[in-house]
């Protein structure tokens, strides 16, 4: 879907050029997906996870009902090789189990309750229907929403999830999600993205980055994975190196109260053919600020707040 900013943006040129949803006859679904990325994207982070337990069907149902552009989810692999939707490396924060998620079979994970923790942590949003929510397989999410949604899938902790990329591509191909233009794959690990590209060159990729102050000199920012220099030192060549395999960058915005990227970063990335999506923005003021800076999309646990700012 296409949306236009309600607030005044200093980078209206980018949005004024946004593609129409009416694809030309000779535009492939994949090309249409890339054109759609030129307009502002609302990305529901782990579903509408501010309102319902993250990564559960309740959170994805709500986000889908609100007609977001992408459902964001983290993919991991179980001890018996099933791809599940789960963020943390360990299960204790969001379930009644404990230990590494990759140590459990799907059957064991399905016995867990991933909803009660949310009710206890968020009494104002608690709902008895969340109790007993099950960990989802990727298959279950894709079967539920099919081609009526787009999916922004992270290969989470690839070093802890060997075989994840192969299993992920097989599932996406089985559901015809790639050539139909319904999926982006994101990762902090460049190697994981390159593996995805080798497995299926049509998967559009997003390089995640995380900027934070250097331990040696906290006045300078560095990037966690080493994929790019810090924003103050980043050059066109650095963006172009990412643009060789990715269509965008997913960045943090604030580290311990300090803004780590600015409008120049977004502009320079755009000039080098990279969209910039920022995670995870939950406050309306910050959403507005980033939109004024020209950001191309936001990950949020509160897509309802973000949707109020776009039409």
Residues that bind ligand G3P (CB under 6 A): 45, 72, 74, 87, 154, 186, 208, 250, 279-280, 299
Q: Fill in the per-residue mask, 274 to 293: x = in contact with Ca ion (CB under 5 A), - = not in contact.
A: --------------------
Query: Helix count (H) and strand count (E) of the chain?
Result: 12, 14
**Candidate list 45, 64, 175, 277, residue with the active-site label:** 45
- In whole angstroms, give the CA distance from residue 6 to residue 306: 11
CB of 72 to ligand G3P, least distance (A): 6
- In whole angstroms, give the CA distance from residue 134 to residue 136: 6
Residues 90/99, Cβ–Cβ less than 8 Å: yes
CB of 154 to Ca ion, least distance (A): 4
Question: Which stretch in 4-12, 152-160, 189-197, 261-269 sits in contact with Ca ion by CB under 5 A?
Answer: 152-160
Sign of the C-alpha dihedral, residues 164, 169, 171, 177?
positive
CB of 13 to ligand G3P, least distance (A): 27
- Near Ca ion in 67-96, by CB under 5 A: 74
Residue 11 or residue 76: which is nearer to ligand G3P going by CB? 76
Decide which of Ca ion, ligand G3P, none touches 279; Cβ closer than 5 to 8 Å per partner kind: ligand G3P
CB of 282 to Ca ion, least distance (A): 14
Closest-by-Cβ residue to ligand G3P is 279
DSSP string, 143-178: HHHGGGS-EEEEE-SGGGSTTHHHHHHHHHHHTT-T
DSSP string, 15-66: HHTPPPSS--TT--HHHHHHHHTTS-EEEETTTTTTTS-TTSHHHHHHHHHT
DSSP 216: S
**Candidate list 64, 87, 197, 277, residue with the active-site label:** 87
Residue 36 or residue 154: which is nearer to Ca ion going by CB? 154
CB of 59 to Ca ion, least distance (A): 13
51 tagged catalytic: no
Residue 54 or residue 74: which is nearer to Ca ion going by CB? 74
Residues 59/47, Cβ–Cβ less than 8 Å: yes
Q: Does 154 bind Ca ion (CB under 5 A)?
A: yes
User: Cα 127 to the chain's mean position, in Å?
Assistant: 26
182 tagged catalytic: no
- In whole angstroms, give the CA distance from residue 176 to residue 5: 31
Contact footprint for Ca ion (CB under 5 A): 74, 154
Query: Mind telling me the catalytic residues?
Result: 45, 87
């Amino acid at each position: 879907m296409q949306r236009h900013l309600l607030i005044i943006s200093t980078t209206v040129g980018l949005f004024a050029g946004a593609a129409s949803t009416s694809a030309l006859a000779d535009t492939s679904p994949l090309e249409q997906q890339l054109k759609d990325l030129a307009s502002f994207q609302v990305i529901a982070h782990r579903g509408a996870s501010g309102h319902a337990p993250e990564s559960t069907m309740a959170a994805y149902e709500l986000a889908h009902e609100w007609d977001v552009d992408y459902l964001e989810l983290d993919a991991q692999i179980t001890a018996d090789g099933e791809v599940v939707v789960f963020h943390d490396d360990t299960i204790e924060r969001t379930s009644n189990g404990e230990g590494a998620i990759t140590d459990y079979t799907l059957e064991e994970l399905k016995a867990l309750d991933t909803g009660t923790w949310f009710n206890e942590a968020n009494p104002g949003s608690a709902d008895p229907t969340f109790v007993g929510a099950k960990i989802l397989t990727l298959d279950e999410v894709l079967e539920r929403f099919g081609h009526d949604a787009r999916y922004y899938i992270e290969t989470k902790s690839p070093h802890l999830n060997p075989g994840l990329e192969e299993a992920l591509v097989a599932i996406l191909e089985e559901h015809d999600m790639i050539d139909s233009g319904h999926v982006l794959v994101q990762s902090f690990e460049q190697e994981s993205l390159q593996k995805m590209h080798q497995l299926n060159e049509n998967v559009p990729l997003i390089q995640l980055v995380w900027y934070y102050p250097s331990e040696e000199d906290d006045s300078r920012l560095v990037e966690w994975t080493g994929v790019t220099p810090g924003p103050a030192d980043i050059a066109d060549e650095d963006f172009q190196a990412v643009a060789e395999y990715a269509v965008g960058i997913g960045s943090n915005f604030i580290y311990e109260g300090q803004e780590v990227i600015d409008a120049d970063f977004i502009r320079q990335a755009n000039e080098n053919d990279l969209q910039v999506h920022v995670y995870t923005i939950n406050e309306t003021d910050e959403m507005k600020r980033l939109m004024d800076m020209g950001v191309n999309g936001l990950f949020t646990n509160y897509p309802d707040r973000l949707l109020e700012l776009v039409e």
